[in-house]
Chain A
Amino acid sequence: MESCYHCGDSCGEHALAHRSRYFCCNGCKTVYDILHENNLSYYYDLDKSPGTTPKDFKGRFDYLDNPEIKAKLLDFDEQATQIASFTIPAIHCSSCIWVLENLSKLRPAIKSTQVNFPEKRVRITYNAEEISLKEVVELLCMLGYEPVISLEDFNKKERKKDRSLIYKLGIAGFAFGNIMFLSFPEYFEVEEFWLDRYKPVFRALMLIFSIPVVVYSARHYFISAFKSLRSRMLNIDVPITLGILVLFLRSCYEVITNTGTGFFDSLAGLVFFLLLGKFFQQKTYAYLSFERDYKSYFPIAVTRMETEGTQRESQIPVYEIKPQDRILIRNGELIPVDGILIKGDGLIDYSFVTGEAEPVSKKTGDTVFAGGKQQGGILELSVTKAVEQSYLTQLWSNEVFQKERKNELDSLTTKISKHFTLGVLGIALASSLFWWFVDPSKILHVFTAVLIVACPCALALSAPFTLGNLLRITGKHKFYLKDAGVLEQLAAIDTVVFDKTGTLTSASKEAIRYSGESLTEHEESLLTSTLRASNHPLSRSLYSMFQDYRIKVLDDFEEEPGLGITGTLKKQEIRVGSYAFVNALPPERQQLADNHTSVHIATQTGYKGCYTFQSTYRSALKSVFRELSKNAELVILSGDNDSEQSKLNRLVDVPVAMHFNQKPEDKLKFIKSLQQQGKKVMMIGDGLNDSGALAQSDVGIAISENVNVFSPACDGILDASRFEQLPAFMKLARTGKRVIKWSFVLSLLYNVVGLALAVSGNLKPVYAAILMPLSSISIVAFTTVCTYYFGSSIKKPEEVE
């Protein structure tokens, strides 16, 4: 079997040979031709089969001519220079970068393009006098790089990147290096006349360098410590702030009174290492979004029928739809508002909202809810509610989506820092008391030395580095977490709640079973040819099963949206579709058909049989449930009816609570009630219908067949192919917690050594300058080695299978 030179898909029986290459379809061939004729074939040299099959886009981007929408999408608009940026999920390799950055060779009106690969975004500068935004987008589509333009782009805020951490880190590192450099003479106590004479100059320079570190780089530690004290808490930032302040004030005092060199090097180093930990923990997946809501999926514009005067169509922004407007929904378009069907046969796929795979058919006069995707002919709707008031969007007004989660309150570091702070203050006071009797002149020296040496740098680094490493490890295994806090939550989970459709079942592998009279070879060939002509999802899945049969050109083909298809060849007719359409179903089979999605077949000679589609459960279901049940209670919440309950019971051999017919709000309430019983709940779901539950749960994981395409707001995204490793990930999270505890012990050991020096009044700046980086670096090394050792226990899928 040949594979397509452009996209790499298998070409099947109908490979197109063209210029000694094979293509799977005309779309791929066209892209090849365009690139080839414009001397851009280097595209195919960079990576093998780098392309994506272009989709039909005719008329779909007409709304880009609407000036209001255009204004919202453009980043910059000034006479002959326009800048627009788009998200293009198809960007996946170096060829993509290359061809997109060479768009100007195809159309000189495009001045330049710049790809941001990690974010899968492209920034296009063009001249609107020569090429319109619509043409730019259509050019992208023609090459198979269709940008995603959603309602989210309509009210996008200025994408402002927060670079303050890089600045802070840079300043702290800069000061750290320079101060260390300047304190070299002090480290070695060189008794050299000139160096001694210029000591005040060196010290003054150190002081100046340390000011921006304290004032700017360490600023957020002060703010956080202040906030936590105000809410009567002692988080880790309190002892850090105390340490920084004491370091700075004592050093200033020593330098100004010319009694010592101070601890400026330790101060800058401390802040630098702390910020480094923060930076490391900030592992982000730029192209994944964990904050998505309906806006990411809704279209930006819709076709409105002008009722006054002539029958004219116009493209208007979705937010301008008012009740009583008449809108047009084409095949494959998402319905953005609630409305009443006026014209056309609706076959609406609500999988996006409910997780239910089977499309619902609607007749004229029926109410249609927002969020469905029309499959079939054109619909005309009369709008009943504006976008914000629609049923689906109302879901988002639930308070769950507004509140910000406070992970920090019960994190391990916060818990230990309370005891730590009190302990350090106790030791400081006790040793001051001791020196009050022995040598009162040393009290201040000892008191400050204790606070300096006890500054919990290593302690504060333990969690960020452990969790940061774990984030990278899970990310490598296609389990993408929003932030490090999620990992700590994951370790505490004791209840796991699953959605059924799309989560436990896999969307791609549907088992198709045939029952009825067997078809002759001729009939099968006719059936395949008929199915080939239809775009209905059921036809597509059936067709993919039949690919081996020879395709013939039909004499006649008819598709009745929502009902079925009819194909005719040499006076032989075949009808494929619903029971009502085929109209010949024996009663005993009707029962069977009711429970499952089925496609019925009939020829002129009568009813033949039906294909039933059954959802298949993920193969690893049994072992995953068995593993998880050791540590957690398991629950299944499904929006479906209970027809699958017995099958599930057979599949799973551990106790699982099952609840069926759960609406999105029910799922949310169910999670809430579990939490009120004191449970830590993890929700695993896939559709928008789970989004409330995902937001409410302690850890919400979205499972996704293609991580680039779809996932509701959540704490983490799990690639569906790694479902079987879920127990291993949870185990890793628990191990991570143990590693943090061990490194706490290690860093406390360093503190004991330092405290011994401080209490006995022997802390010299050079000891502090050695001890502080040593403890930090060894903690980083320890956590890194540990996490990667434990992380290696997660196998790659090849080894699992």
Chain B
Amino acid sequence: MSIIYMLLAISVVVALVFFAAFIFSVRKGQYDDTYTPSVRMLFEDELVKKTGSSAEKNQQSITNHSDRKSK
């Protein structure tokens, strides 16, 4: 029946693992903002476009707009 020592040890270890996970998540700031992630997860996944020049193009159009605005 000394297996009970083993079982107790396992149950305590499992409990401690979850406890450690909790401490870790608090420390990482998961409890600081409990609202935003609930919204973020609902955003649609978007199609990833693989155009190498898209970044450059974007930059271009922004500068265009700011130019237009400042005029």
Residues A170 and B19 in contact, CB atoms below 8 Å apart: yes
Residues of A within 8 A of B61 (CB): 34, 37-38
Q: How far is the CA of A98 from the CA of B15 in the complex (A)?
A: 38
A788 at the interface (CB under 8 A from B): no
**Chain A nearest Cβ from B58, distance in angstroms:** 5
A94 at the interface (CB under 8 A from B): yes
Residues A30 and B19 in contact, CB atoms below 8 Å apart: no
Residues B36 and A117 in contact, CB atoms below 8 Å apart: yes
Q: How far is the CA of A174 from the CA of B22 in the complex (A)?
A: 10
Contact residues of B: prevailing secondary structure: helix
Residues B4 and A198 in contact, CB atoms below 8 Å apart: yes
Contact residues of A: prevailing secondary structure: helix
Q: A166-B26, A167-B26 are in contact. Are A201 and B8 (CB under 8 A)?
A: yes
* B-contacting residues, A149-164, CB 8 Å: 161, 163
**Chain B nearest Cβ from A534, distance in angstroms:** 21
Residues A33 and B36 in contact, CB atoms below 8 Å apart: no
A427 at the interface (CB under 8 A from B): no
Q: How far is the CA of A30 from the CA of B36 in the complex (A)?
A: 27
**Chain B nearest Cβ from A217, distance in angstroms:** 13
Residues of B within 8 A of A39 (CB): 46, 49
**Chain B nearest Cβ from A376, distance in angstroms:** 22
Residues A58 and B70 in contact, CB atoms below 8 Å apart: yes
Q: How far is the CA of A728 from the CA of B3 in the complex (A)?
A: 65
A254 at the interface (CB under 8 A from B): no
Q: How far is the CA of A68 from the CA of B36 in the complex (A)?
A: 33
Q: How large is the interface on B (under 10, 10 to 19, 20 to 34, 35 or more residues)?
A: 20 to 34
Residues B42 and A94 in contact, CB atoms below 8 Å apart: yes
Residues B35 and A117 in contact, CB atoms below 8 Å apart: yes
Q: A116-B32, A198-B4 are in contact. Are A34 and B55 (CB under 8 A)?
A: no
Residues A97 and B19 in contact, CB atoms below 8 Å apart: no
B50 at the interface (CB under 8 A from A): no
A453 at the interface (CB under 8 A from B): no
Residues of A within 8 A of B31 (CB): 163, 166
Please tell me which stretch of A101-109, A224-232, A289-297, A717-725 contacts chain B, meaning at least 4 of its Cβ atoms lie within 8 angstroms of it: A101-109
> 11 A-B pairs, CB-CB below 8 angstroms?
A38-B58, A46-B43, A101-B40, A108-B58, A108-B59, A118-B36, A119-B33, A142-B66, A163-B32, A174-B15, A205-B8
Residues A33 and B62 in contact, CB atoms below 8 Å apart: no
Q: How far is the CA of A27 from the CA of B70 in the complex (A)?
A: 11
Q: A41-81 toward B: CB 8 Å interface, digit per residue (1/0)?
A: 01000100000000000100000000000000000000000
Interface residues of B (CB under 8 A from A): 1, 4-5, 8, 12, 15, 19, 22-23, 26-27, 29, 31-33, 35-36, 39-40, 42-44, 46, 49, 55, 58-59, 61-62, 65-66, 68-70
A699 at the interface (CB under 8 A from B): no
* Chain A-chain B contacts (Cβ-Cβ < 8 Å), number: 83
* B-contacting residues, A109-125, CB 8 Å: 115-119
Those 3 A-B pairs whose CB atoms lie nearest each other, nearest first: A117-B36, A108-B55, A116-B33
Residues of A within 8 A of B68 (CB): 30
Residues B23 and A107 in contact, CB atoms below 8 Å apart: no
Residues A30 and B62 in contact, CB atoms below 8 Å apart: no
Residues of B within 8 A of A188 (CB): none
Residues B65 and A34 in contact, CB atoms below 8 Å apart: yes
Nearest A residue to B34, CB-CB: A118
Which of B36, B49, B65 counts the most chain A CB atoms within 10 A?
A: B36
Residues B1 and A194 in contact, CB atoms below 8 Å apart: yes
Q: How far is the CA of A704 from the CA of B19 in the complex (A)?
A: 44
Residues of A within 8 A of B40 (CB): 97, 101
A178 at the interface (CB under 8 A from B): yes
**Chain B nearest Cβ from A215, distance in angstroms:** 16
Residues of A within 8 A of B4 (CB): 194, 198, 201
A342 at the interface (CB under 8 A from B): no
**Chain B nearest Cβ from A565, distance in angstroms:** 24
Nearest A residue to B4, CB-CB: A198
Q: A33-B65, A106-B58, A198-B4 are in contact. Are A118 and B43 (CB under 8 A)?
A: no
Residues of B within 8 A of A26 (CB): 69
Residues of B within 8 A of A34 (CB): 61-62, 65
Residues of B within 8 A of A58 (CB): 70
A139 at the interface (CB under 8 A from B): yes
Residue in B5, B26, B59 whose CB lies within 8 Å of A163: B26
Known: A166-B26, A201-B5. 19 other contacts (CB 8 A): A26-B69, A27-B69, A30-B68, A30-B69, A34-B61, A34-B65, A37-B58, A58-B70, A97-B40, A107-B58, A108-B55, A108-B58, A118-B36, A119-B33, A142-B62, A167-B26, A174-B15, A198-B4, A205-B12
Q: A94-B39, A107-B58 are in contact. Are A142 and B15 (CB under 8 A)?
A: no
Residues A174 and B1 in contact, CB atoms below 8 Å apart: no
Nearest A residue to B44, CB-CB: A42
**Chain A nearest Cβ from B28, distance in angstroms:** 11
Q: How far is the CA of A174 from the CA of B21 in the complex (A)?
A: 12
Residues B62 and A107 in contact, CB atoms below 8 Å apart: yes
Q: How far is the CA of A167 from the CA of B24 in the complex (A)?
A: 10
Residues A118 and B69 in contact, CB atoms below 8 Å apart: no
Q: How far is the CA of A594 from the CA of B61 in the complex (A)?
A: 53
Q: A30-B69, A117-B39 are in contact. Are A106 and B62 (CB under 8 A)?
A: yes
Nearest B residue to A142, CB-CB: B66
Residues B59 and A107 in contact, CB atoms below 8 Å apart: yes
Q: How far is the CA of A662 from the CA of B19 in the complex (A)?
A: 59
Nearest B residue to A286, CB-CB: B33
Q: A161-182 toward B: CB 8 Å interface, digit per residue (1/0)?
A: 1010011001100100010000
Residues A142 and B32 in contact, CB atoms below 8 Å apart: no
Nearest B residue to A182, CB-CB: B8
**Chain A nearest Cβ from B5, distance in angstroms:** 7
Nearest A residue to B31, CB-CB: A166
Nearest B residue to A139, CB-CB: B62
Q: How far is the CA of A463 from the CA of B70 in the complex (A)?
A: 58
Q: A42-B44, A142-B69, A205-B12 are in contact. Are A170 and B36 (CB under 8 A)?
A: no
**Chain B nearest Cβ from A751, distance in angstroms:** 33
Residues of A within 8 A of B12 (CB): 178, 205
Residues of A within 8 A of B33 (CB): 116-119
Q: A42-B44, A166-B31 are in contact. Are A115 and B36 (CB under 8 A)?
A: yes
Q: A78-92 toward B: CB 8 Å interface, digit per residue (1/0)?
A: 000000000000000
**Chain A nearest Cβ from B14, distance in angstroms:** 11
**Chain A nearest Cβ from B55, distance in angstroms:** 4
Nearest A residue to B27, CB-CB: A163
**Chain B nearest Cβ from A82, distance in angstroms:** 19
